[in-house]
Amino acid sequence: MTTETSTRPAKVAMNGVDVPTLLATIGAVGDARELAKFTFRAKGDWISGAHSRVSIRDYFGAGAEQDRERTMTVDADHTTVLCGDDEGPTPVELLLAALSACITAGIGNIASARQIKLNSVETTVEGDIDVQGILGLNEDVRNGFSGIRATFKISGDASSEQLRKIVEQSIARSAVFDVLTNGVPVDIVAQTA
Amino acid sequence: MTTETSTRPAKVAMNGVDVPTLLATIGAVGDARELAKFTFRAKGDWISGAHSRVSIRDYFGAGAEQDRERTMTVDADHTTVLCGDDEGPTPVELLLAALSACITAGIGNIASARQIKLNSVETTVEGDIDVQGILGLNEDVRNGFSGIRATFKISGDASSEQLRKIVEQSIARSAVFDVLTNGVPVDIVAQTA
């Protein structure tokens, strides 16, 4: 009598993703769910007009305070058409950037976990906004986007069907897609010096 | 019989805001509402792993295609704790940055329109997220933030009450606050090369 064992090849790093470590990380969080609690932070400073700079560095996650090696900054401003100085993207454009980046990051991870080599991911994200809302000209017009449209063009060493499913899975697990489509409670406190 | 006229002093530029032009712009849009329709855009490219770069430049608004003088880019990545390379803020941190920037920009404009000199605006924005959702470990946990908390600390040449009202008015007219709290329809198409 012989014993047959069926083994699948171990998954390897690809697309810039350390797949064994990614899978081990998911397993570790699965074994210790409290590691899953994260708090991300951003700190902003007004500079002039509609221009501000936001700093991003530390966060809480995996059971401890985490400190990156460098502080990342994002400048934002209004456009000159709306009397800003174009010193950075508008805040609403940062929402579009966040959506692009979140789903693209997911595509990178998911393709790699499925051992599919990616060639490229190109996105276009558009948001429509009627600024009568923010300008206080029409109470029936919302302040924010009325709708967002996006196209994710993906190329890789797999069938169109497999590639499309990677995009779909990334959308299904996207934190930013969830927040933008479902909203989130926001609590703001104003302090005066 | 004499005619008395009551005139208020013309509002002047301050805090880096060209107040006469801002008020004229609001008036112009009020007179021609079709100028209020804007479409903002972001274009993303996957680089490696969870790292992507988003470019922001052109948009439609004020009745015409608008092209900025330069292309602005935002890099985003996952953190090393979640197997990224820290090549930029995480996508969810960009949401926090957008909220900080939007309300701060509004504070700059509203304070100036009210002719109140600002000294500083300092923000802290935090978002809680249980990554069991995005890691696919628990179907009962949402992918996105469970909640966002923010503090806006404002200093300027006005009473605490006046300064607090500026923050409140900025929140009431914030496009990003609206989108984050109320959500927006998002339509995504996947294309394969």
B47-80 pLDDT, tens digit each: 999 999 999 999 999 999 999 999 999 999 999 9
Residue A94 shares a structural domain with residue A154? yes
- Let me know if residue B33 belongs to a domain: no
User: For residue B70, which phi and psi values (nearest 5 degrees)?
Assistant: -145, 155
> What tokens does A150 get?
């996006």
Report the C-alpha gap between B127 and B145 in whole angstroms: 6
Cβ neighbours around A147 below 10 Å, total: 13
**Which of the listed residues B88, B122, B154 is the one where a domain comes to its end?**
B88
- Let me know if residue B77 belongs to a domain: yes
Residue A93 shares a structural domain with residue A178? yes
- Answer whether residue B1 shows pLDDT above 70: no
Residue A177 belongs to a domain with what CATH number?
Answer: 3.30.300.20
> What tokens does A173 get?
């697990």
Name the band, by pLDDT with cuts 50, 70 and 90, for residue B8. Answer: confident
Residue B155 shares a structural domain with residue B72? no
Residue A75 shares a structural domain with residue A115? no
Residue B60 shares a structural domain with residue B104? no
> What tokens does B27 get?
């008036």
- Let me know if residue B141 belongs to a domain: yes
> What tokens does B181 get?
């709290």
- Let me know if residue B134 belongs to a domain: yes
The minimum CA-CA distance between B7 and chain A, rounded to whole Å, is: 24
Range of the domain at A80: 42-88
- Let me know if residue B110 belongs to a domain: yes
Residue A101 shares a structural domain with residue A141? yes
- Answer whether residue A188 shows pLDDT above 70: yes
Report the C-alpha gap between B180 and B99 in whole angstroms: 8
- Answer whether residue A154 shows pLDDT above 80: yes
Residue A150 and residue B189 in contact, taking contact as beta carbons nearer than 8 Å: yes
pLDDT of A107: 98
The minimum CA-CA distance between A28 and chain B, rounded to whole Å, is: 11
The pLDDT tens digits for A90-138 are: 999 999 999 999 999 999 999 999 999 999 999 999 999 999 999 999 9
pLDDT of A92: 98
Residue A48 shares a structural domain with residue A108? no
Residue A80 shares a structural domain with residue A99? no
Report the C-alpha gap between B155 and B117 in whole angstroms: 9
- Let me know if residue B28 belongs to a domain: no
The pLDDT tens digits for A12-59 are: 999 999 999 999 999 999 999 999 999 999 999 999 999 999 999 999
- Answer whether residue B2 shows pLDDT above 80: no
Residue B124 shares a structural domain with residue B147? yes
Q: List CB contacts (< 8 A) between A54 and chain B.
A: 96-97, 100-101, 123
The pLDDT tens digits for B127-144 are: 999 999 999 999 999 999
- Let me know if residue A10 belongs to a domain: no
- Answer whether residue A4 shows pLDDT above 80: no
Report the C-alpha gap between B182 and A140 in whole angstroms: 15
Domain count, chain B: 2
Q: List CB contacts (< 8 A) between B86 and chain A.
A: 68-70
A100 and chain B in contact, CB less than 8 A: yes
Supply the ipTM of this predicted assembly. Answer: 0.96
B119 and chain A in contact, CB less than 8 A: yes
Residue B82 shares a structural domain with residue B100? no
- Let me know if residue B19 belongs to a domain: no
**Which of the listed residues A88, A122, A157 is the one where a domain comes to its end?**
A88
- Answer whether residue A2 shows pLDDT above 60: no
Residue A99 shares a structural domain with residue A174? yes
**Which of the listed residues B56, B73, B88 is the one where a domain comes to its end?**
B88
Residue B134 shares a structural domain with residue B169? yes
pLDDT of B172: 98
